[in-house]
Amino acid sequence: MSQINEFNINSNAGLAPLSSVDMSLQNLQKKTAQIRFSLDLANNNLSKYLTLRHVQDQNERLFYHYIRENIRDSLPYIYTPSVGDACQNYSYLNFSPRGLYLTYRDGQSVAEQVNQINQDIDIIVVTDGSRVLGLGDLGIGGMGISIGKLSLYTAVGGIPPERTLPVCIDVGTNNEALKNDPQYLGDKQARIEDDKFYRYLDEVMSALAARWPNAIIQFEDFSNNHAYPLLKKYQHQYRCFNDDIQGTATVAVASIKRALTKANKQAKNAKVFVVGGGSAGCGIADLINRSFGFEQGAVYLVDRDGVLFADDPLNEMQTPLARPTSERPVAGEPLALLEAVKHIQPDVIVGVTGVTGLFSEAVIRAMAEGTHMPVIMPLSNPVSACEVTPQQVFDWIGDQAIVMTGSPFAPIEFEGRSHVISQCNNVYVFPGIGLGAHVVNATTITDTMLQKAMDALASFECARNTDYEVLPAIESTLDISKAIAHAVAIQAIEEGASAEQNLTLEQLTQRIDKAFWNPNLDTFHA
């Protein structure tokens, strides 16, 4: 039996209550100064993560005030890369229980557990911890991802914290280190077989939807073999989407479009390599195909053996994205990454592999030789899983490329200029997607709604961007969330995927503004 029972959620949903001592806005600045002091004393990312988690447990309004005022500095500590360290060490961390753990082998009814929670919930983030970032199977450590994503839903998406619910499904682990760790609090048996897994997910989804029929459910960090089947099964049955597939695709494709514009290239003529044939890579390639209107351009999905062609062994996601067999240079022979870059000369290369250093010096030099100002996007998280670092790119080819990353990197100093590296972070899109779907009570989240979210980010005007910076400043994410919420909500109404059919644009704006929770307008508590 799993040891996680002691952390199972109770009727207060495990959210840390605010204390009863009122706190004025004047004192708020003193409290935020204390947080900064504590963070300065913390000597590593995990310590900074824990510092902020303790603030969150003690006083959520103070926590979110601090995050909104310091989003650029705090984002790396409440999410990537620090959350990866937290998930790896989750059973060793000391903080208040938060979230709902559902343990398969305990044999408890999911509906009975869910029905004990007496809060209204708008957004649910659920994971089974089977593929956490680029770190693999971390079991119940995946709860850190659900908690972190919902922190961002509140910080930049305006969802009140008490109306969010992080969920971790514990169906065992195949991580031998966790099985042998006496401190590990989850189920130490092997992950359950697929038939049991899918039946249990049916039970989970049915119970969550029955308890909160209007809640948006976001899937996070499910393994590649389960992520797409779950999305395909539930996409039109429940109000749900998969952030690893659809959120990553939305921000990545918007970023590519912005980068191509900076490089004075047209999307319809661009050749794009998406390296990584898993759920994230297939999601990115699919959205590119649907939104670029190719004339002379094309998208190429590249897996471990090279470019995927129609005569390769393919899974359900990869099949419609493979290139025609007639394009294979040598019949029956694989076209490996480096040779493919030299042969096809792509304008863009995106990495979602989790393979450190995959974009070698030879690959990067070949990109620069094949096209003017290539767009290089190593998106794997955390930093330790990055396909190439910005510094390496600058060392090898100077500033003759546009680099965007999945993890945060400091600006690169090159020939007397500071180059800001845009972080292609899902935080730009998923809070707005959830907010927009929520405010119009969307009955489903469609591909066209996500495409409108991508368009909203791709066209969002920046006030501060440098010549090199591609994405809007991270401080703009609150405004971006509202813009994406508008786009998603309008599309939901137009295609009949919303229970609201008679809202004017003015009414929609008012509804979004009203729904957008602001910690500064509420009574603060110490």
187 annotated binding-site participant: no
Rounded CA gap, 203 and 13, in Å?
20
131 annotated binding-site participant: yes
The encoded tokens of residue 431 equal 């809070």
Query: Is residue 149 flagged as an active site residue?
Result: yes
Rounded CA gap, 387 and 473, in Å?
24
Rounded CA gap, 107 and 104, in Å?
6
φ/ψ region of 287 (left if φ > 0, alpha if ψ in -120 to 50, else beta) reads alpha
469 annotated binding-site participant: no
The encoded tokens of residue 258 equal 């912005």
Residue 20: count of CB within 10 angstroms of its CB:
7
**Distance set, CA 119 to CA 17, 29, 115, 395 (Å):** 13, 31, 10, 53
Pairing outcome for strands 306-307 and 298-303: antiparallel
CB 153 within 8 A of CB 434: yes
| Candidate list 48, 66, 149, 228, residue with the active-site label | 149
199 annotated binding-site participant: no
Rounded CA gap, 208 and 100, in Å?
11
CB 139 within 8 A of CB 129: yes
Rounded CA gap, 14 and 16, in Å?
6
244 annotated binding-site participant: yes
| Candidate list 49, 79, 101, 468, residue with the active-site label | 79
438 residue type, one letter: H
Binding-site residues for (S)-malate: 131, 381, 425
Binding-site residues: 131, 220-221, 244, 381, 425
Binding-site residues for a divalent metal cation: 220-221, 244
Catalytic residues: 79, 149
